[in-house]
Amino acid sequence: MGIKYIPEPFRIKMVETIKILTREEREEKIAEAKYNLFNLRGEDVYIDLLTDSGTNAMSQEQWAGVMKGDEAYAGASSYFKLVEAAQDVFGYKYIQPVHQGRAAEKVLFGLLMGVGKYSISNMHFDTTRAHVELAGARAIDCVVPEAGDPAKRVPFKGNMDVEKLESLIKEYGADNIGLVIMTITNNSAGGQPVSVQNVRETSEVCKKYGIKFCIDAARYAENAFFIKEREVGYENTSIKDIIKEVFSYADMFTMSAKKDTIVNMGGLLGIKDDEELYQACKGRTISYEGFVTYGGLSGRDLECLAIGLYEGLDENYLRYRIGQLEYLAARLDEAGIAYQAPVGGHGVFVDAKSMFPHIPYNEFPGQALAIELYKEAGIRSCDIGSYMLGNDPDTGEQLKAKFEFTRLAVPRRVYTQAHIDVMADALIAIKERASEVKGYKITWEPPILRHFQASLAPIEE
């Protein structure tokens, strides 16, 4: 066994019973769901790895915070507690709560982007790209080339390609770049980290051309832990100091707080010192989200978020959290199962193309593996490949994705080593009969974001 499982740095005080259906029952459920895992009822899932977003287990301190939440419409004490905590952690003057990450994108991007503008990012998350486009602009991804090779193990596979960034700025014209966005960790590349050096170099390029620099901060703490483990010179720096340094290079951040702050709902918008921009964001928050001191959240949500901001920095917790993924990855290594390596912070992205070389991209290997995982062990995961990518908006033709991944995203503080072993065992069992697994065809699809709603059917010879 390559790696030891790091025991949970907590004990369990409240439990939620989960149902285990038989294989026959699962086969019926997934057929009824038209082979779309989003159509399954949560209660029919044994281990739910659809996302690590909003699926976290809160601590006793956070649950106590639920009771203490101040529900005043304006000026709630929970709001001030949250703002002070976020100012302390990120070092920014202005903090605006919103209901989730995409709400921060909606509030901010409309102010900085419009027709003819571009956003350049190491990789845009789907909703980030959508809000760039809704604001009239275009999104360009600029990740380092190593990210495209699942087998290539490099420490910071989520980095921006800084040279390419500069050439893109020259090509499109600095005045037309609305924003440069650094996504930490880089979710779309497999939860891969970004180094301090890369954030600093990106910020230098932005400064040189007078372009605003934003961090998409959903997994800021996991990213800081990778820096501590992997970047020379940071071995003895605290997680909090690493985060401060990373954020010191940017002008603003948008954050889905449903990830590293270990809550079920919430988001933040941070602005370092630009008062005019903050004023404009406040106005848009009131229109879209609610008054500035609650931003679409309940007082109890603000309270839990303030507590979670600190809990997410705990090194014992982060070591266990990342260790869980590394343990799972080591079991896959042993079995010869390929994934985006080294494993990222919030999930394992299994290389379904390599598991099912006989299934072409337009028969959706990533989705086929997700369906097999449900049938095999009641595990719900999702396709990050051609099925998710969809059709060319102009020609209607199926696009071919760069990767065919199946993402097993692990919620925080929810599953134990035994559950992780169920995941590994299920993948190993599927690999043993991989050549028998068939592809899928789409029998109905909506025009946009089809993977949430489409119906599929297995391809029978």
> What 3-state class would DSSP assign to 416?
coil
Question: Least distance (Å) from ligand F0G to the CB of residue 428?
Answer: 25
Q: Please report whether residue 267 would count as binding ligand F0G according to CB under 6 A.
A: yes
Helix (H) or strand (E) holding 455: strand 455-458
Cβ closest to ligand F0G, residue 127 vs residue 285: 127
Q: Please report whether residue 96 would count as binding ligand F0G according to CB under 6 A.
A: no
Q: Please report whether residue 340 would count as binding ligand F0G according to CB under 6 A.
A: no
Which of residues 102, 228, 450, 451 is near ligand F0G by CB under 6 A?
A: 102
Question: Is residue 124 among the annotated active site residues?
Answer: no
What residues does 458 pair with on adjacent strands? Answer: 440
Q: Copy the structure tokens of residue 74.
A: 């304006």
Question: Is residue 130 among the annotated active site residues?
Answer: no
Phi-psi category of residue 378: left, alpha or beta, with phi > 0 → left and psi -120 to 50 → alpha: left
Cβ closest to ligand F0G, residue 150 vs residue 344: 344
Strands of the sheet containing 405-409, edge to edge, are 347-351, 405-409, 382-384
Question: Is residue 259 among the annotated active site residues?
Answer: yes
Q: Which of 259, 272, 353, 419 is catalytic?
A: 259
Q: Which stretch binds ligand F0G (CB under 6 A): 33-41, 82-90, 122-130, 448-456?
A: 122-130
Q: Copy the structure tokens of residue 154.
A: 């490099």
Q: Which stretch binds ligand F0G (CB under 6 A): 10-18, 95-103, 388-396, 449-457?
A: 95-103
Question: Least distance (Å) from ligand F0G to the CB of residue 219?
Answer: 7
90 closest CA partner among 235, 260, 233, 231 = 260
Which of residues 192, 256, 285, 367 is near ligand F0G by CB under 6 A?
A: 256
Question: Is residue 126 among the annotated active site residues?
Answer: yes
Residue 432's contacts (CB-CB under 8 Å, 6 or more residues apart) are none
Question: Least distance (Å) from ligand F0G to the CB of residue 108?
Answer: 12
Q: Which of 19, 73, 149, 241 is catalytic?
A: 73
Q: Please report whether residue 183 would count as binding ligand F0G according to CB under 6 A.
A: yes
Closest residue by beta carbon to ligand F0G: 101
Cβ closest to ligand F0G, residue 256 vs residue 381: 256
Q: Which of residues 51-70 bind ligand F0G (CB under 6 A)?
A: 51, 53
Say if CB 250 and CB 199 are below 8 A apart.
Answer: yes
Q: Which of 216, 260, 351, 383 is catalytic?
A: 216
> What 3-state class would DSSP assign to 371?
helix
Say how far apart CA 239 and CA 309 lie, in whole Å.
12
Strands of the sheet containing 138-141, edge to edge, are 94-98, 267-271, 252-256, 213-216, 177-183, 118-121, 138-141
Which of residues 69, 101, 299, 345 is near ligand F0G by CB under 6 A?
A: 101
Question: Is residue 125 among the annotated active site residues?
Answer: yes
Say if CB 457 and CB 441 are below 8 A apart.
Answer: yes
Cβ closest to ligand F0G, residue 128 vs residue 340: 128
Q: Copy the structure tokens of residue 352.
A: 């379904």
Within a 10 A sphere around the Cβ of 80, how many other Cβ atoms? Answer: 14
| CA dist 348 → 326, 339, 344 (Å) | 9, 7, 7
Q: Is the dihedral of CA 246, 251, 254, 255 positive or negative?
A: positive
Q: Which of 79, 92, 94, 125 is catalytic?
A: 125
Question: Least distance (Å) from ligand F0G to the CB of residue 349?
Answer: 11
Count H helices and E strands in the chain, helices first: 16, 14
Within a 10 A sphere around the Cβ of 35, how many other Cβ atoms? Answer: 23
Say if CB 247 and CB 269 are below 8 A apart.
Answer: no
Which of residues 119, 127, 192, 406 is near ligand F0G by CB under 6 A?
A: 127
Cβ closest to ligand F0G, residue 183 vs residue 324: 183
Q: Which stretch binds ligand F0G (CB under 6 A): 75-83, 99-107, 207-215, 221-229?
A: 99-107
Question: Is residue 73 among the annotated active site residues?
Answer: yes
Q: Which of 46, 57, 80, 126 is catalytic?
A: 126
Q: Please report whether residue 223 would count as binding ligand F0G according to CB under 6 A.
A: no
Say how far apart CA 250 and CA 253 lie, in whole Å.
8
Which residues are tagged catalytic?
73, 125-126, 216, 218, 259, 451
List of residues contacting ligand F0G (CB under 6 A): 51, 53, 100-102, 125, 127-128, 183, 187, 216, 218, 256, 258, 267, 409
